[in-house]
Amino acid sequence: MAEGDPMQRLIESGLMYSNLFHVDSPVLVDRYNRALEHLTGATTQLSEFHVDVSGYSPEVGSELGDHQYLNHGGVNRQFILLSNEQGRCPLLNAHFSTSRQILNRFIRENERQLFALTATDAIAGELENSVFSVESPRDLFDIRQIRVVADTTNGTIAKAGHLARLVDRFHDEKDGWFNEQLINEMIEVARCTGDVTRNPVQLQHAVFEQRNFWTSLFGGLYIFQDMEKPSVVVREEKYRRQLPSALVMLLDDRRDVARFLSDNELVETVVKFPGDEGVAVLRRKLDLMLGLELAKKSVDSTGHAGSRLRRLAARNGVSLPMEYEGLASIVRWAEAGGTRPKVGISHPAYFATLRAADTPVKDLVNMLLAELVPNDVLQLYICHKDEFYRRYRSWPREVRDFSVDAIVREYISDKDSARAMLFGSNKE
C-alpha cells in the first residue's frame, strides 16, 4: 500500500482486509504454492501472507502485479483452501454477490471431508459457471448454476473415485481374487487415498443455483430472474439495449426501481406505525446524514448524536437536505402520532425509509438499497463493501475520517446487534 493511500486508514481501522486467514508456516506456504502453481502456473516467494475465503491474498496479488490472479475474466473464480477456517473470512474483489455464499456453504457442508483433506494438502478448485466467458450482458442470463469443482493438488479425490471403481470391478469380476494386475493397482492407488470403503473421499453438494445476483461486470448489474417478470437494474445506459429482460431499469430511474421493488413485495417500510421500534433505525440514519454534512464543512462531529449533533450543525450553518427533512418528519410522526407524512416515490428520502423484506433475495435488495441511499455510509459499508471502497477513494479527507469513525463506533463493536436492528437479521 503506497504511502498516503486513503485506503490505509481503512486497513488500520479493521474495515478492509480484516478477518483474513494468516498463512504463516512453511508447510502452509508450500501447500499454497503447489495449489497456486497448479491453477495459475505462478508461485509466491513470500514467507507469510493473508488469504480470504477463496485463497486470494492481497500481498500475493501485489507481488505478482495481478490482483485478479484467481479470477481472470470475472467468471469461473478459482480458489485455494488451506483450512476450514477460511469459511469465516470475507471474499475480496468479488465479481458476483453469490460467490462468498457458495464457497461458505460448500465448506460448511463438507466440513469433515475438507478437514481431513487439508490436514495433508491444499484444495485447488473452481466455481464453474455454465459459461466460460461473459462477452455481453446477455451472457449473464446463461448463468443458472454454479458447480464447485475441487481436488487436492495430489488428486486425492479423483484417485479415490478411481479406486472406488476398481473396488467395484474387483467385487463384480468372477475371478477378481486372481487378477493380480487389478489388485496391485488397487494397492498402489490406496497408498494415496486410504481405505475408501471405510472412509469415502467424496465432496457433496457441489451444485448451487445462481439466478438472482449482483455482478461488478458491465458497470454493475442487479439481476432478478426469479421474479414474475425477470428484471435487471443497470448503472449505465449503454447496457440497457443489450439485455433480453422483460424489464430493464437504470439505477438513476428511481421511480421505476421503486415500483419494481414494491410490485414484487421485496421491501418494507422501516417504521410502520407510531411507536414502532424501527424509529431507532431512522434516528441513526439522521445522525449519520447530519454528521456527513458537518464533515463536508470540515467540522468534527465525533461523539455527538441527537440534539447535540443538531445544535452543532446549527452553529456551523449546515443546511439540511430534503432527505433529512423527510426522515425527520417520519420520526416526529412515529414518536408523537398524528397524520403520517407523505414521503412518496419522488421524495429524496423514499429509499431511506425502506429495508428489504424477508425474502430469498433479502441481501441482494439491501445491497441495491445501499446504492440508492448514498448518504447512509453505514448501510453502504455493511451491504456493499466494494461500492463503499470505490466511493471512499474519492471522498474528501474529512468525509473519509467521519465515515471510518461512524462505522467503527456503530458496527464493528457488535456486528450482530447492529445488523439485527438495521435489517431485522443477524446474517453476515
Average the pLDDT over each of 39-43, 106-110, 193-197, 338-342 and give the range with the smallest value: 193-197
Domain chopping of the chain, boundaries: 17-134+146-155+202-208, 212-252, 267-423
Answer yes or no: is pLDDT of 190 > 80.
Answer: no
* C-alpha cell at position 388: 463503499
The residue with greater pLDDT, 134 or 35, is 35
Answer yes or no: is pLDDT of 173 > 80.
Answer: no
Count the Cβ atoms, other than its own, within 10 Å of residue 241. Answer: 8
Answer yes or no: is pLDDT of 31 > 50.
Answer: yes
**Average pLDDT estimate for 257-274:** 94
The tens digit of pLDDT for each residue in 323-343 reads 999 999 999 999 988 889 999
Residue where the block lists cell 453438494: 205
118 φ, ψ (degrees, to nearest 5): -80, 0
For 56, how many CA atoms within 13 A lie in the half-sphere containing its CB?
Answer: 25
Q: What is the pLDDT of residue 184?
A: 67
The residue with greater pLDDT, 90 or 197, is 90
Give the C-alpha separation, 76 to 125, whole Å.
10
Share of the chain above pLDDT 70, in %: 86
Give the C-alpha separation, 126 to 148, whole Å.
6
155 conformational bin, left if phi > 0, alpha if psi -120 to 50, beta if neither:
left
3-class SS of residue 246: coil
What's the mean per-residue pLDDT of the chain? Answer: 86
Please answer whether residues 29 and 22 qualify as being in contact, where contact means their C-beta atoms are separated by less than 8 angstroms: no
pTM, 2 dp: 0.85
Give the C-alpha separation, 316 to 356, whole Å.
35
**Average pLDDT estimate for 367-380:** 94
Answer yes or no: is pLDDT of 193 > 60.
Answer: no
The tens digit of pLDDT for each residue in 291-321 reads 999 998 898 887 777 788 888 888 888 888 8
Q: What is the pLDDT of residue 243?
A: 84
Q: What is the pLDDT of residue 361?
A: 95
Answer yes or no: is pLDDT of 119 > 70.
Answer: yes
43 φ, ψ (degrees, to nearest 5): -140, 165
